[in-house]
Copies of this chain bind each other. A is one copy, B any other.
Amino acid sequence: MTRSQRKARTTEAGQSEMALESLVGYNLKRAYVVLQSDYRSVMGDHGLSPRVFSALTFVVETPNLTQSDLARRLGIERSGLVAIVDELEGRGYLRRVAVPQDRRIQALSPTEAGVQAYEVALELVHDHENRVLHMLNTEEREQLVHLLKKIREKGE
């Protein structure tokens, strides 16, 4: 394959296509932006941001989670997690609980309000995904998640 052939591909309709169009990274970014902006419009201005929602999910579903654990699972630095935990605590969705065995640690314990907020938010997120992904059927969505997960697992 020559350089020019690689650069200018041809679509089924016979139109020339930019090299960008066939790159995974470019399409991944653009699709990510589409989902992100629809997410914001569904969750609203005082709703949980994607990262705070993810954090709440881990807190609700993982007993005795520490902040370092959570940061590792979210793939961010411990320092960046502080603001996220502050927000969830400020909303009354979790408590920082002292651990007698190791006084450096503060376990993250969801409150009843936190569990309920999680349930409600999950419904909203499902609504959002159903709306923004209406052009993909169930099989295509599962295929997409499967492919994305493969990328994620090797990259960790």
Q: Is the CB of B155 within 8 A of A27?
A: no
Main secondary structure of the interface of A (DSSP, over half): helix
Q: Is the CB of A148 within 8 A of B27?
A: yes
Minimum CB–CB distance for A133 against chain B, Å: 6
Q: Is A98 an interface residue (CB 8 A)?
A: no
How many chain A residues touch B (CB < 8 A): the figure is 58
Q: Is the CB of B152 within 8 A of A27?
A: yes
Given A75-B33, A151-B133, A154-B135, A145:B27 Cβ within 8 A: yes
A sample of 19 cross-chain residue pairs with beta-carbon separation below 8 angstroms, ordered by A number, consists of A6-B126, A7-B119, A19-B61, A24-B133, A25-B50, A25-B128, A28-B32, A28-B148, A30-B75, A34-B155, A34-B156, A35-B151, A135-B150, A135-B151, A136-B151, A140-B147, A140-B150, A143-B143, A147-B147
Minimum CB–CB distance for A82 against chain B, Å: 20
Q: Is A13 an interface residue (CB 8 A)?
A: no
Q: Is A52 an interface residue (CB 8 A)?
A: no
Closest B-chain residue to A149, C-beta based?
B27
